[in-house]
Amino acid sequence: MGDRARRLRSARTDPANDAGELLQRVALGDEAAFAQLYDLLIGSVFGMVRRIVRDPAQSEEVVQEVMVELWRSAAKFSPERGSATTWAMTLAHRRAVDRVRSAQAAADRDDMVGRRDASRPFDEVSEQVTARLEQEQVRRCLSTLTDLQRESVLLAYYGGRTYREVGELLSTPLGTIKTRLRDGLIRLRDCLGVA
Amino acid sequence: MTSPDIHALTGAYALDAVAGVERADFEQHLAECESCAQEVQELQETAARLALAAAEVPPPDLKDRVLAQIREVRQLSPDTTVVPLRRRSLAQRLTTVAAAVFFVAAAGLGVVVVRQDNQLDAARAQATQLEQILKAPDAELLTLDGSGGATGSMKVAVSRQQDKMLLLSGNLATAPDGRDYQLWTLADGRPSSRGLLEPAGGNLTYEVGDLGDADVVAITVEPAGGSRQPTEQPAMFAELPSD
């Protein structure tokens, strides 16, 4: 029981309220509050970004950018538009996804990246992720989704895929994927009691 | 896109799985559809739980690096304007109406949604500014498209005689969090920064003078606050007409 357990626990309890208060202090330039906010969010930000970006050095870079951005733009957070944790995770997810997509575009979009990626079995991604999910509740709720819903949601969220790419990877029409993503998230939302 | 179709994108959007023009379109739709915005918020909240569930122990030295870095980073204040727009106040007041007036009066292009009457005066003032450029005998109208990955499109009215150009967009997506659009002109390959572009609700009007011998106009997506030199391939660009 050390750092790891403590950090995981702090990420596991819903830190929404704490994070909101801290973020408001951070917006006033409170560095101590930022250090606390860092501790509260870093495990989740790091884990999520690493799953998407994969390359360890680049993941760290993105995580560092995200945390600095939280500091920089804390004043832009408005509580009426959602919780501070969601705000931070949304920012982090968008950053991670931008990184993999621009890297793809720059390096090898023309170089059959689609084919290479398609050859990586999608269930490798989702099983790994599912197996490693730290949060029992999320795992349980994910298991209430249909296979296609779950695979689609996980490929999009942890795989950083666009829904069009998800459609290709799962050989499923786009209309169906859109619906699965939405229905899957709605089912997850209801199961997790998010509202 | 029909409305049930676009509504079905709430899930994909909450997962950042909508890209390019489609994302811009959807964000525009979100601004007008309260129930969609509400649903997106809930689904983003749900997606964030997937991040919480994925927690891992970060490298121990990362925190020190981040804490050291924030001491060098100036924070935004809630009303910070980091945009050195020469005509910012006017630009801020610009509405899609201005674009409509301009396009219809001057170029016969496109139909744009009309919003509020009280914005008409500002729009008319803006339209005058626009017409002025287009009155120049050498005026040309260019289109910057999003082929470089930007979401949205932009028209540029250029006059060499007046030595200026005017940028207009009615559907430019907000730059990603922590990024800004930066405008450049290039003369013989050498870039000059022309400031940051901040679309408001997709709308943007921005005038640039002193074109000199600039032959290309380009927009890149830079880290917030902008860069000294472009650090990425342009998201949008066009060649300017020669004298």
Sequence-distant (≥ 6) Cβ neighbours of residue A66 within 8 angstroms: A45, A49, A88, A91, A92, A95, A96
Count of domains for chain B: 2
Asked if B52 and B164 sit in the same domain, the reply is: no
> For residue B126, which of B167, B154, B85 has the smallest C-alpha distance?
B167
CB-based contact B42 A64, cutoff 8 Å? no
Per-residue confidence (pLDDT) for residue A132, from 0 to 100: 52
> DSSP letter string over A34-71?
HHHHHHHHHHHHHHHHHHHH--HHHHHHHHHHHHHHHH
In a domain, B62, yes or no: yes
Residues 10-69 on B with a CB inside 8 Å of A are: 10-12, 14-19, 41-60, 62-63, 65-67, 69
Find residue B184's DSSP bridge partners: B193, B218
- Going along chain A from its start, the domains and CATH numbers come out as 1-107 (1.10.1740.10), 110-195 (1.10.10.10)
Asked if B62 and B126 sit in the same domain, the reply is: no
B231 touches chain A (CB under 8 A): no
CB-based contact A158 B54, cutoff 8 Å? yes
The residue to which tokens 């496109």 are assigned: B110
- Crossing angle of the two packed helices A16-26 and A84-107, in degrees rounded to 10: 80
> DSSP letter string over B195-237?
EEE--BTTBEEEEEE--TT--EEEEEEEETT--SS--S--SEE
B53: domain CATH number is 1.10.10.1320
* Region A128-132 average pLDDT: 47
In a domain, B83, yes or no: no
What is the domain extent for residue B9? Answer: 1-75
Asked if B99 and B66 sit in the same domain, the reply is: no
Phi and psi dihedrals of B224, rounded to 5? Answer: -50, 140
Per-residue confidence (pLDDT) for residue B35, from 0 to 100: 92
Residue A193: its chain B contacts at CB < 8 A?
A: none
Asked if B70 and B105 sit in the same domain, the reply is: no
In a domain, B105, yes or no: yes
pTM of the model: 0.58
Phi and psi dihedrals of A82, rounded to 5? Answer: 125, 170
Of B32, B50, B75, which residue sits at a domain end?
Answer: B75
Residues 178-197 on B with a CB inside 8 Å of A are: 178
Question: Beta-carbon neighbour count of residue A2 at 10 Å?
Answer: 7
Per-residue confidence (pLDDT) for residue B168, from 0 to 100: 79
Asked if B92 and B189 sit in the same domain, the reply is: yes
Asked if B219 and B124 sit in the same domain, the reply is: yes
**Cβ–Cβ < 8 Å for B235, B149:** yes
Per-residue confidence (pLDDT) for residue A106, from 0 to 100: 57
One-letter amino acid at B164 equals K
Asked if B68 and B97 sit in the same domain, the reply is: no
DSSP label at residue B241: P
Of B17, B43, B75, which residue sits at a domain end?
Answer: B75
CB-based contact A31 B52, cutoff 8 Å? no
Shortest CA distance from A99: residue in chain B: B176
* Region A15-32 average pLDDT: 84
Q: How confident is the model at residue B7 (pLDDT cuts 50, 70, 90)?
A: confident
Of B26, B44, B75, which residue sits at a domain end?
Answer: B75
Find residue B167's DSSP bridge partners: B156, B206
Interface confidence: ipTM more than 0.90: no
Asked if B129 and B233 sit in the same domain, the reply is: yes
Strands B154-159 and B140-144, by their bridges, are antiparallel
* Region A69-83 average pLDDT: 90
Alpha-carbon distance of B75 to A24, in angstroms, equals 13
In a domain, B81, yes or no: no
Asked if B54 and B94 sit in the same domain, the reply is: no
Asked if B70 and B100 sit in the same domain, the reply is: no
In a domain, B1, yes or no: yes
Considering just the CA atoms, what is the radius of gyration of chain A in Å? 17
Asked if B124 and B234 sit in the same domain, the reply is: yes
Smallest CA–CA distance, residue B3 to chain A, in Å, is 13
In a domain, B139, yes or no: yes
- Of the candidates A44, A97, A179, the beta carbon closest to that of B8 is on A179
Asked if B58 and B147 sit in the same domain, the reply is: no
Smallest CA–CA distance, residue B172 to chain A, in Å, is 18
> pLDDT at residue B236 above 90?
no
Per-residue confidence (pLDDT) for residue B150, from 0 to 100: 60
Residues 86-125 on B with a CB inside 8 Å of A are: none
Helix-, strand-, coil-residue percentages of chain A, each rounded to 5: 80, 0, 20
Residue B146: its chain A contacts at CB < 8 A?
A: none
- Of the candidates B46, B47, B52, the beta carbon closest to that of A135 is on B52
Considering just the CA atoms, what is the radius of gyration of chain B in Å? 20
Chain pair A-B, CB pairs under 8 angstroms: 215
**Cβ–Cβ < 8 Å for B168, B204:** yes
> pLDDT at residue A17 above 70?
no
Alpha-carbon distance of B154 to B142, in angstroms, equals 8
Residue B176: its chain A contacts at CB < 8 A?
A: 94-95, 98
Per-residue confidence (pLDDT) for residue A4, from 0 to 100: 44
Shortest CA distance from A195: residue in chain B: B42
Per-residue confidence (pLDDT) for residue A195, from 0 to 100: 65
In a domain, B82, yes or no: no
Tell which wins on pLDDT, A109 or A37. A37
Q: How confident is the model at residue B174 (pLDDT cuts 50, 70, 90)?
A: confident
In a domain, B132, yes or no: yes
**Cβ–Cβ < 8 Å for B27, B174:** yes
> pLDDT at residue B161 above 60?
yes
